[in-house]
A and B are shown apart, each in its own frame.
Chain A
Amino acid sequence: MGDCVLLRQAPRAPTLPVLERSADPSSVRAHAGTPAAPAPVAPPPPPPDLAAAHDRLGASLYRFFYVRVSRDEHLAADLLQQLWAAAARNASRVPEAEIEFWLRGVARNLLNTHWRRVGSRPTHVAMEDSHTGAALAERMTRERLPADELERRQTQDRLLQAITRLPQADQDLIFAHYFEGAQQVDLSKRLGMSARAIEGRLYRARQLLRDALKESDE
């Protein structure tokens, strides 16, 4: 994996064209019933840059599937491929600023469709249970977990699922630092930030992860 692939900053979202359209005075005249020339139709928003979205979100979307299908690499890859196929067909109407949310929603739908198609969710796939997630978050802040708890597959899956619900940048940071062994000094070089800023972002990511463990969005 390329060093900088996971840690690339997400580009700033463009200004929403919806706001510009609502400020168009010609549309106000049309509402007032003036028999004037038809209001000029605002151009549709440009289609999202799927290639850029692929580069930016591909890793986290793959992880999203991977940790929810019992870490089956091939199945995760199949689902991801279906996701991009769906995006190629339908994403042209999605505003650029919403593409990440849209892709995550489609990913969830694909996952649910997959479980329906195969009959049921296998018992070895951890359910997203807010109660047990909250318990895990609580225990992780109170004590050092014993080795057998760290090795329990369901506990691991629950944690991984919570991480993959975080925003892209936060989960990239957590995976790079805790799972891939990148030190803070390495991260500061990659991201062009001070070590203190990295420390702050890691702190914030941990707080978000604790919240994510306590909640369940699915």
Chain B
Amino acid sequence: MNPHENDNPTPRHDEADALFDANLRAFGTKIGPLPAHAALRLAGTQAVAPRPARHPRWLAWGSAMAACIAAGAVIFSQPWGNRVEASTIIGGLRTKEFGGVNIVFDRVSSQGTTIDGVVRMRLKDPISIDRLDDPKAIDSNARLGAAYGKFTLTSDPIADGGEPSVIDAEGSLTPASGWMYVRASDGAARQMAEGNPMAGAVAGLAQHGVVLNIGSLDDRFFDGLNAMVCPASRQSSDLGGLHTSVERTADGHGKVSVGLRVPTPGSPSAEQFSRLIGYARMVLSGKARQNELEQMRSMLQNDFAQKATVQTLGAGRFLLTTNLPPPSEGASAVSGGMLRVLYEQSGGVRWAEFSGMPDTAGTIRVEFDSEPIDPSLLGYERLVNTGTTNYLDLRVIMRMFMPPLLRAW
């Protein structure tokens, strides 16, 4: 028998209690549920059950944005001393809403390939940064309003005296349509044909420019994207200390994990690095509070950063520049890079820029931008030369040649 079965039986006809009950109910309706602290996730298995990432690319970009903001906020707490507390900055940033982001690749070069370009993403409704940790907040096609990207990929020639391979790519995605335009140089087409005859056939079309219909921003698109991005079996890569794995879950969703290679356990820096990663996780998930931020800032300043300077630009604008120490034995891949963050007292972090990364030249900048994308960029008609430009429905091709999972696209 349940020991609570005999708990105080309710007296009947207690008019005072009935009124108290009614008033309490009315208060409850007015006030509503109190917010749950994020730490409650630790309290029950139901609450912590991980939700598969449906749209890994969007999630990854969201995390990148959160990382930039968090890093900027953490480091900026130092020079302002008593005037601005870290918790105040983080509190403001967590609730800061933004309507879009641009990711700019400026001559980003690695292993003989250089990327120049920009991705612009705009949301239908602004989203607060603290929701980036919640997949439900950003995994729906109802959230992403439009995206546009334009890239130039240049690869070094295979042989001395050869010509470089150049691929121009441009594309847009809206709820109504989606397309990608690809134009390959002669050298690129030749390189692709040498590597893979089938790819060479596509490259041949791309020599004159090809417009690919990739569908619109709907569930089918994302399902197809997941199927394409995520392999049937887990695949992982380890590049410059950055460990990435991609796998498809049993229900067909994609799951992307990104991590940093930790120094050898037991080495003097391993413990420091583990602690730093722990703090970074708390920051990224929005659980970090003043104490953790102070600890993380201290580690960044004292243990990992060589120098951190703040330049006053006027009108409430500050530019933070911090250099991470050069690579050394046992150091992580984050070593040797430079982070610059532009902060405005009125609006928070405007952009964050990474450069000098190990094994990678160039600059990657994340800008917060809510301005609508120029509508003229969202159509492909301007790129079409009648009689020479090819048009392919990529989904039809996928249905013909690809595994069943991709045919759903």
Chain A partners chain B: yes
A: residues with CB less than 8 A from B are 1-5, 8, 51, 54-55, 58-59, 62-63, 66-67, 73-78, 80-82, 85, 137, 140-145, 150-151, 156, 159-160, 174-175, 177-181, 191-194, 196-197, 199-204, 206-207, 209-210
Contact assessment for A179 and B31 in the assembled complex, using a CB-CB cutoff below 8 Å: yes
CB distance from B22 to the nearest CB of A (A): 6
- B47 and A5 form a contact (CB under 8 A): yes
Q: Which 7 A-B pairs have the closest CB atoms?
A: A178-B28, A2-B47, A81-B289, A74-B91, A2-B44, A141-B16, A62-B37
Task: Specify which of B34, B38, B90 is in contact with A66 (CB 8 Å cutoff).
Answer: B34
Residues of B within 8 A of A202 (CB): 10
In the assembled complex, B208 has its CB within 8 A of some CB on chain A: no
Say whether B38 contacts A77, CB under 8 Å. yes
Cβ A179 vs Cβ B38 within 8 A: no
Given contacts A4-B46, A200-B7, contact A78 B87 (CB under 8 A): yes
- CB atoms of B2 and A192 under 8 A apart: yes
Chain A residues with CB below 8 A from B34, complex form? 63, 66-67, 160, 175, 179
Q: Complex Cα distance A201/B5, Å?
A: 10
Distance to closest chain B CB from A90 (angstroms): 15
- Give how many A-B residue pairs fall within 8 Å (CB-CB): 155
Question: Which residues of B, 142-201, contact A by the 8 Å Cβ criterion?
Answer: none
Interface residues of B (CB under 8 A from A): 2, 4-11, 14, 16-17, 19-28, 30-40, 42-47, 87, 90-91, 94-95, 289-292
Q: B residues within 8 A CB of A75?
A: 87, 91
Among residues of A, the one whose C-beta sits closest to the C-beta of B30 is: A150
A73-B31 contact given A5-B47, A196-B9, CB 8 Å threshold:
no
Residues of chain B with a CB closer than 8 A to A54's CB: 39, 42-43
Interface of B is mostly: helix
Tell whether, in the assembled complex, residue A193 and residue B38 are in contact, meaning their CB atoms are under 8 Å apart.
no
- Chain A interface mostly: helix
A144, B22: Cβ atoms under 8 Å?
Answer: yes
Select B10's contact among A77, A137, A199, beta carbons within 8 Å: A199
Query: Which chain A residues lie closer than 8 Å to B35 at the CB level?
Result: 66, 73
Contact A180 B33 (CB under 8 A): yes
- Docked Cα-Cα span, A41 to B38, in Å, equals 43
19 pairs, A vs B, C-beta closer than 8 Å? A4-B44, A5-B46, A55-B43, A58-B42, A74-B94, A77-B38, A85-B291, A140-B19, A140-B20, A140-B24, A144-B23, A150-B26, A151-B30, A174-B24, A179-B28, A191-B4, A200-B9, A203-B10, A204-B7
Residues in B with CB closer than 8 Å to A180 are 33
Whether A197 contacts B30 in the complex (CB less than 8 A), given A2-B46, A73-B35, A192-B2, comes out as: no
- Kindly list chain B residues whose C-beta atoms are within 8 Å of the C-beta of A67: 34
Provided the pairs A196-B9, A204-B8 are in contact, do residues A2 and B40 lie with their beta carbons within 8 angstroms?
yes
Are B16's CB and A142's CB within 8 A? yes
Task: Contacts A81-B289, A141-B19, A192-B2 given; indicate if A179 touches B42 (C-beta within 8 A).
Answer: no
Selected contact of A140 from candidates B4, B10, B23, CB within 8 Å: B23
Given that A141-B19, A180-B33, A200-B9 are known contacts, is A1 also in contact with B291, CB under 8 Å in the complex?
Answer: no
Closest A residue to B88 by beta carbon equals A74
